Structure 1
Amino acid sequence: MTRISVELVPRDAEVLENEVKAIKENLNDVDFINIPDLLSCDIRSWDGASIAKKYFKDVVPHLRAMDFDFTKQLPIKEKLRGYNIKEVLVVEGDPPQSMLYQVYPTVSTDIIRKINEELPEVTVYAGIDQYRSSMKEEEYRIRRKQLAGAKGFFTQPFFDMRYLEMYADLLDGLDIYWGVSPVLSERSVSYWRNKNNVIFPKDFEPTLQWNIDFARKVIAFAKKHNHNVYLMPIKAQIMPYLEGVFAK
């Protein structure tokens, strides 16, 4: 059965709660919320997840591998249990801008393995970055994360159904959450091209309607193949975008 998630950035506790509440009250198609862990936000992902848990049974906080010393006990273990978090997404994490912020040479597989050992009741997902390198190299990373104990995978956003279908063949049999994120300005297009190495399809337009139509195509594909989807309305107005995506 297809699950659909919305990713919400925890910049402000009150704003986050209002967003989660609006989604719960107006969009029956959304099954759960996932919360990224961004150093630019004062709220950590697990604390943001505790806010979303007021409205959704399932909430998935992201955990940055480099924030944890894998030789020591997981410091947020009791918080995750206290918040009744049953699923997490482990990502590598981007290096901090400030050298005052402590990070470790920890990689995703270290933390995936550690969570499975210390929190066996928690389902661990891992990330896929289809723009990082070749498909062959990314497949190798995926298999390593599987061996470490990842039960499913969240991709970076796709913008081209042809590329998504190629990855669908590669990932056949895995529990996949296809990422979709609206890109609504030339500045955002430049960001995705230069920062993440995205090549947009010839018919791409940085308009709300193009992005809504594409999200609907991905959801239809996911439902046909028993996959899942997560929507990342990072720069878009959340409710107009989601209401367009889920319009009957």
Structure 2
Amino acid sequence: MGRISVELVPRSPEGLREDLQMIKDNIHGVDLINIPDLLRFETRSWQGAAIAQDFYPAVMPHIRAIDVDLTQPLAMRPELRQSGITEVLVIEGDPPQDMSHKFYPTVTTDVIQKFHQEMPEVKVYAGIDQYRGSMRQELYRIQRKLQAGAVGFFTQPFFDMRLLEMYADMLQGQNVYWGITPIASERSKSYWELKNNVIFPRDFEPTLEWSIYFGRKVKGFIETTGDNLYLMPIKGNLQAYLEGILGSQPE
């Protein structure tokens, strides 16, 4: 089995440290911490990743392509180098709700290449969105990102083993982190259906129990393939979800 990554939202430095301490004290097998870049919070992803380094040596901030001005040096480069961060995940990014935040028509492949030019010591990962179009279209995007220099991929969360197995067959030999996330309410289910075009399998239930059950199935699958696991416990009982899938630390 490859690495296990947990995504933690940096709502505040204090809250992030509490989550990191809880995971370090209670959860077994975590190798990597991912920090998304959410504009509604003051802590940027690379700042949150620097905090996470106090708990885990392997950290990965998310970089939003639409925030990158290609005519200027990478704005986060000084802080990344100061922290010694050597892995990033480049995503497209959604336009900000606050239009005072400037953004650019930059695409992920441009940013991947820019990192190679300005920070060649950094390994750049890219995203896979298995819901935005056909598999053929997504495979084309994946190939473009590989040509730009991506060393691996993080997927959107899966909820159906059949779809995951199809993508795993298509991406055999690639360095992939297979995503999962808990859904514990009808409201959350509707969000994924309307916002991300997810079609849930017939046996799906919007409960923590079902999310843990499915997460354990995905973990079992990647243990046979040698791939990586990417847990995104965005809301809800962080400890219960992670312990349910990964188990607790040995006494």
State the TM-score, normalized to the length of structure 2.
0.97
Q: In the alignment, what sits opposite 1:111? A: 111
How far apart, CA to CA, are the structure 2 residues paired with 1:83 and 1:223?
32
How far apart, CA to CA, are the structure 1 residues paired with 2:87 and 2:25?
23
Which residues of structure 2 form unaligned runs of 5+? none
How far apart, CA to CA, are the structure 1 residues paired with 2:218 and 2:156?
13
User: Match of 1:105, as an amino acid?
Assistant: P
Q: In the alignment, what sits opposite 2:89? A: 89
Q: What SS class does the counterpart of residue 155 from structure 1 fall into?
A: strand
Range that drifts further, 68-77 or 145-154: 68-77
Q: In the alignment, what sits opposite 2:140? A: 140
**How many angstroms does 1:243 deviate by?**
1.0
Q: In the alignment, what sits opposite 1:75? A: 75
Q: In the alignment, what sits opposite 1:171? A: 171
Cα RMSD (Å): 0.9
Q: What SS class does the counterpart of residue 147 from structure 2 fall into?
A: helix
How far apart, CA to CA, are the structure 2 residues paired with 1:218 and 1:70?
38
1:93-145 Cα deviation digits (max 9, x unpaired): 00011221100110000000000111111110000000000000000000000
How far apart, CA to CA, are the structure 2 residues paired with 1:151 and 1:220?
24
**How many angstroms does 1:28 deviate by?**
2.7
Q: In the alignment, what sits opposite 1:160? A: 160
Structure with the bigger RCO (C-alpha within 8 Å, sep 6+) is 2
Matched, 1:229 2:229: yes
User: Match of 2:159, as an amino acid?
Assistant: F
Matched, 1:129 2:129: yes
Q: What SS class does the counterpart of residue 88 from structure 1 fall into?
A: strand
**How many angstroms does 1:240 deviate by?**
1.1
**How many angstroms does 1:174 deviate by?**
0.5
**How many angstroms does 1:221 deviate by?**
0.9
Q: What SS class does the counterpart of residue 199 from structure 2 fall into?
A: coil
Which residues of structure 1 form unaligned runs of 5+? none
- Provide the identity percentage: 59
Is the 2:28–2:247 Cα contact (8 Å) retained in structure 1? no
**How many angstroms does 1:84 deviate by?**
1.0
Number of aligned positions between the proteins: 248
**How many angstroms does 1:247 deviate by?**
2.9
Q: In the alignment, what sits opposite 1:181? A: 181
How far apart, CA to CA, are the structure 2 residues paired with 1:241 and 1:173?
29
Is the 2:37–2:61 Cα contact (8 Å) retained in structure 1? yes
Q: In the alignment, what sits opposite 1:4? A: 4
Q: In the alignment, what sits opposite 2:240? A: 240
Q: What SS class does the counterpart of residue 136 from structure 1 fall into?
A: helix
Q: In the alignment, what sits opposite 1:21? A: 21
Q: What SS class does the counterpart of residue 63 from structure 2 fall into?
A: strand
Range that drifts further, 46-55 or 17-26: 17-26
Q: In the alignment, what sits opposite 2:36? A: 36
How far apart, CA to CA, are the structure 1 residues paired with 2:72 and 2:52?
29
How far apart, CA to CA, are the structure 2 residues paired with 1:75 and 1:141?
25
Would you identify which runs of 4 or more consecutive aligned residues in structure 1 move more than 3 Å?
none
